[in-house]
Amino acid sequence: MDVAELYNKALETVTTWAPVVLRVLLIMIILVVVWGLLQALVKRFMIREKPGDSGGSKRLQTLAVISRSVINVALLALGITWVLSELGINLGPVLAAAGVLGLAIGFGAQSVVADVLNGFFMILEGQVRVGDWILTKEGSRGRVEQITMRTLILRDLEGNVHIIPHSMVETVVNMTMAYSVCQIDMGVAYREDADEVLRVLEEEALKLQKDETVGRFILGPAEILGITEFGDSAIVYRLRIRTETGRQWAVRRMYNLYIKRRFDAEGIEIPYPHITLYAGEDKDGNAPAFPVRQKQGDVPSPKEQKASQSKQIAEPKERIQPAPGPESGPAEDREPIVGDGDGE
């Protein structure tokens, strides 16, 4: 084979494959440009925060995460099929084999399909968004950090991460949807005047609205609901304060501090659990005696022992002398019956 033949073959190869390589490069450039434009659109319309619309912003942020994943997968699949077609590979058998494989995977991975579908509708309907505090039926509780196509990722107050497949999420309690409510149940002793307690609760709620720390989180005046329960040792008063999403816990903690200080100043008792023993009455209406005695073998406390010893030291024992009789001798020759006062 001479040089001319080699040159002709090389020229033929370059002439044949050069357009293909150029088209592949052009396809890659187009895909990169489209990917950049779509990512910019997602960032512009979905991640941008809107003042006064925290709920809508959270939903857009959640959709942005899913949209980016869908865009990446779709462009990758499109690019692979486009490049293979330009290389002259027949995609018919490949697509048929991929369909059969996808069908087999679908039967074997039904839970994965269920996860994807449940997650899609959860995000589409705005049930859960990134940043929400939720409680699931299974007992997982925390802040939503990420929502993927298959899983819901939470982080609780202790920093633990809960990864829950969407198909396992049956019931969700969203504690930060649109607004939150701080509900406070306050137990007060039975002897306290109810009108005075209600007045104190309302006054402290008004002071809380002007608090520099949490006052800006309160959306309106407190609702004093009144007495809700007669407990074993306390009357329970209830009030509700409407707050911004996720701020109800900070408002509750601060209000409890306000109430504790005010109750201490007013002398209002916050009772502790106790039990009253009642012996009943006889037919004449008289209460029978209720004898209480110490069990045999009970040991007095150290404080009681010390008090008893102090009393014995303060009160010396009286010396007892025997009565004189015919067999009794002089006093100095008789032995004392109890002791000589030296502690024996």
Per-residue pLDDT reduced to its tens digit, 155-193 = 998 889 999 888 888 888 888 888 899 999 999 999 999
CA-closest candidate to residue 241, choices 199, 206, 198, 196: 206
Question: What is d(CA 300, CA 294) in angstroms, rounded to the nearest whole number?
Answer: 10
| Neighbouring-strand partners of residue 263 | none
Alpha helices in the chain (DSSP H): 3-45, 54-86, 91-108, 110-124, 194-209, 248-266, 302-314
What is the predicted pLDDT for the residue at 157? 86
Which residues fall within 8 angstroms of residue 140, CB to CB, at 6 or more apart? 154, 156, 162, 164
Q: State the pTM of this model.
A: 0.56
Alpha helices in 192-247 (DSSP H): 194-209
Q: Please, what are the domains in the chain?
A: 3-108 (1.10.287), 122-174 (2.30.30.60), 180-266 (3.30.70.100)
Residue 255 has a CB neighbour count (10 Å cut-off) of: 24
CB contact at 8 A, 59 and 47: no
Which of the pair, 292 or 48, is modelled with greater confidence?
292
CA-closest candidate to residue 132, choices 64, 180, 65: 180
CA-closest candidate to residue 215, choices 253, 245, 186, 243: 243
Q: Which of 182-196, 272-286, 289-303 has the lowest mean pLDDT?
A: 289-303
DSSP state of 133: E
By three-state DSSP, how is residue 32 classified? helix
Summarised one tens digit per residue, pLDDT across range 51-77 is: 444 455 666 666 777 777 778 888 888
* Vertex 34 angle, CA 88 and 129, to 5°: 125
